[in-house]
Amino acid sequence: MPFIPHTPDDIAAMLATIGVDSIEALFDEIPADLRVGAPALNAIPNALSEMEITRLMQARARTDGQPLCFIGAGAYEHHIPAAVWQIATRGEFYSAYTPYQAEASQGTLQLLYEFQSMMTALTGLDASNASLYDGASALAEAVLMAVRANRQTKSQRVLIPRALHPAYRRTLRAIIEPQGLELVEVDFDPRGGHTPVERLEAAAGSEECAAVVINQPNFFGILEAVDELTDWAHAHKALAIAVVNPVALALLSPPGDWGAKGADIACGEAQPLGMPLSSGGPYAGFLCCKQEYVRQLPGRIVGRTLDLDGKPGFTLTLQAREQHIRRGKATSNICTNQGLLVTAATIHMALLGAEGLERVAANCHANTRRLGELLGAIPGVEPLFERPVFHELALRLPAPTAELLRSLAAEDILGGFDLGPDYPELDPALLVCATEMRTEDELRRYADTLARLIATPVTSSSGQVSQV
């Protein structure tokens, strides 16, 4: 009986104490016709020993390979210090529950307070929650929060740039649409790739908006004129919601400094702060805001307080916002944070520090720039937009993107994100990223391979995949 400690003697003694004959008798209040028959569970395989499941999982993990990755598009392959996960997976962090009993959870609570402090430092805002599911759902919470928090307008409309990650736009829609909010997409400038104020103006029309979402850098890696966009939002009674990459913030102006008054809310994906790519999750979304909106902030929040002896300590606070107290009137239904990931992110930021993060950002940027040079030297490959970029680069291709990506993948190179399906007007186009992990040799390997593929187009393979 894996993970069950009961000996035959234990079972007998326990049944005797309860006063029943068998464990089966403990289920006697359940209508008998509901009890499941063994055949119903036949689809579940028999137990494996740890040795057997280890063999199986190792084989499957090997199948997925370790290709050379030039995809960014919202998830970034950064170096993660060895200390990060060695500490984060310590049992005391890994197997602890939500710190409801604060006195028995000071480790987690203090760490969350430190995380909040780091995120406010990075974003330049006053308050941070202790994380949400991921960047996209954090944006959805940010939008809901902005609509609730905006006292200048009752508008339920929110402007979002088309140059925002397509998956973020989809997630936003799925989460906020049942509440009747309206999303208005703002197109980007076809030459610059940025979102000009004029486009905001046009999209907004004459109606008020509750919030404007500003993405820096945007999905194409293009740097937006965030000061103007923020000021426009404030001038139009809208709150400004920043969607930012926390590593980029080591170099770029923090949302709290945008425009005359600063963005009101900042959110984004914390994955670049020490979380493995892991096929998309678990990651962690972060959400920060100005002090005046803190009681509208969803998710867990940790505060510093004092104990009976006047000694400082940490506790979950503002719980009156949360579902377990406020039920249907809560700021959100959320009742977890991504504790383990935040543990990793906090240790990661402590190890990197501001200068370390800045170096990571600068190296990513330089590597992507260098990749742009190398790929740009291939006939027919050229930058899609002319404005300055950060850390990510959109390229026009001389051949169908999907086919090229398939051929690259066959050589264990993940060439980037195909922009065509989401932005048909840009097709064939590719979004590439080279983090600090990529070496010059790897950049050249990519460029040489792509050059060869473009020069000698091959019949695409059948796309068959092998089974495990």
Partner 1 sequence: MLIQEQSRTGRRATAQAPLHSPEVADIPEGLRRRARPALPEVSEMQAVRHYTRLSQQNFSIDTHFYPLGSCTMKYNPRACNSLAMLPGFLGRHPLAPETHGQGLLACLFDLQEILKAVTGMHAVSLAPSAGAQGEFAGVAMIRAYHRARGDHARTEILVPDAAHGTNPASAVMCGFKVREIPTGSDGDVDLDALRAAVGPQTAGIMLTNPSTVGVFDRNIQAIAQAVHAAGGLLYYDGANLNAILGQVRPGDMGFDVIHMNLHKTFSTPHGGGGPGAGPVGVSKRLEPYLPVPLVAHEDAGYLWLTESDRPESIGRLTAFGGNMGILLRAYIYARLIGREGMGRVAEFATLNANYLLARLQEAGFEAAYPERRASHEFIVTLKREAREFGVNTMDFAKRLLDYGYHAPTTYFPLLVPECLLIEPTETESKEDLDGFVAAMTAIRHEAQETPEQVKGAPHSLPVRRLDDVRAARQLDLAWTPGASEDAHG
404 vs 416: CA distance, rounded Å:
10
3 vs 311 by CB, closer to a second copy = 3
Q: Is 300 a residue that touches partner 1 (CB under 8 A)?
A: yes
183 interacts with partner 1 by CB under 8 A: no
Cα 107 to Cα 95: distance, rounded to the nearest angstrom: 13
Q: Which is nearer to a second copy, 186 or 357 (CB)?
A: 357
Going across the sheet that includes 182-186, the strands are 127-128, 285-289, 265-269, 239-244, 211-216, 157-161, 182-186
Residue 77, classed as helix, strand or coil, is coil
Q: 214 touches which of partner 1, a second copy, none (CB within 5 to 8 A by kind)?
A: none
Minimum CB separation of residue 240 from partner 1 in Å reads: 16
- Minimum distance, C-beta of residue 283 to partner 1, in the bound complex (Å): 8
34, 51, 260, 308: residue in contact with a second copy (rule CB under 8 A): 51
Does 403 interact with a second copy (rule: CB under 8 A)?
A: no
Residues 6+ apart with CB under 8 A from 420: 401, 402, 426, 427, 428, 429
Residue 459 vs 467, nearer CB to a second copy: 467
Centroid of chain to Cα 287: 11
Minimum distance from CB of 264 to partner 1 (Å)? Answer: 16
**Is the CB of 92 or the CB of 448 nearer to partner 1?**
92
Q: Does 293 bind partner 1 (CB under 8 A)?
A: no
What number of other Cβ atoms are within 10 A of residue 293's Cβ? 20
Smallest distance from partner 1 to CB 245, Å? 13
Helical pair 197-204 and 226-235, crossing angle rounded to 10 deg: 30
- In the complex with a second copy, which residue's Cβ is closer, 59 or 410? 59
Per the CB < 8 A criterion, the answer to whether 336 and 322 are in contact is no
Work out which of 146, 149, 266, 352 binds partner 1, going by CB under 8 A: 352
With binding defined as CB under 8 A, does residue 50 bind a second copy?
yes
Peptide bond into 255 cis (omega under 30): no
Q: Binding residue for a second copy (CB under 8 A) from 22, 49, 291, 466?
A: 49
Is residue 82 a contact point for a second copy (CB under 8 A)? yes
Q: For residues 228 and 249, give the distance between their C-alpha atoms in angstroms, rounded to a whole number.
A: 18
63: contact with a second copy by CB under 8 A: no
The Cα–Cα gap between 398 and 383 comes to: 12
From the list partner 1, a second copy, none, partner contacted by residue 460 (C-beta under 5 to 8 A by kind): none
Pairing of strands 413-414, 429-432: unpaired
Rule CB under 8 A: is residue 459 a binding residue for partner 1? Answer: no
Among 60, 90, 173, 444, binds a second copy (CB under 8 A): 90
Q: Does the footprint of a second copy cover residue 439 (CB under 8 A)?
A: yes
List the single partner that 401 binds among a second copy, partner 1, none, CB under 5 to 8 Å by kind: none
Residue 321 CB neighbour total at 10 angstroms: 21
With CB under 8 A as the contact rule, which of the stretches 44-52, 241-249, 260-268, 280-288 interacts with a second copy?
44-52
| DSSP result, 349-385 | HHHHHHHHHHHHHHHHHHHHHHHHHHHHTSTT-EES-
According to DSSP, the residues that pair with 310 across neighbouring strands are: none
Task: Find the helix packing angle between 135-149 and 166-176, rounded to 10°.
Answer: 50
Does residue 9 interact with partner 1 by CB under 8 A? Answer: yes
Q: Does 466 bind a second copy (CB under 8 A)?
A: no
Q: How far apart are CA 156 and CA 427, in angstroms?
A: 33
Asked whether position 301 contacts partner 1 by CB under 8 A, the answer is yes
Q: Does 85 bind partner 1 (CB under 8 A)?
A: yes
Q: Which is nearer to a second copy, 89 or 179 (CB)?
A: 89
Task: Kindly state the smallest distance separating residue 365's Cβ from partner 1, in Å.
Answer: 5
What is the C-alpha R_g of the chain? 26
Q: Are 222 and 387 in contact (CB under 8 A)?
A: yes
Looking at the Cβ atoms of 155 and 171, the one nearer to partner 1 is 171
- How many Cα atoms within 13 Å fall on the side-chain side of residue 88? 21
Q: Is 348 helix (H, G, I), strand (E, B) or coil?
A: helix
Which residues in 241-260 contact partner 1 (CB under 8 A)?
249-254, 257
Which one of the spans 17-25, 83-91, 133-141, 385-393 is the region binding a second copy (CB under 8 A)?
83-91
Burial of 54 (0-12, 13-18, 19+ CB in 10 A): exposed
358 binds, among partner 1, a second copy, none (CB under 5 to 8 A by kind): partner 1
- # residues contacting a second copy (CB under 8 A): 14
**Which of a second copy, partner 1, none does 55 bind, CB closer than 5 to 8 A by kind?**
a second copy
151 binds, among partner 1, a second copy, none (CB under 5 to 8 A by kind): none
Cis peptide before 217 (omega within 30 of 0): yes
Q: Which parts of this chain interact with a second copy (CB under 8 A)? A: 49-51, 54-55, 79, 81-82, 86, 89-90, 436-437, 439
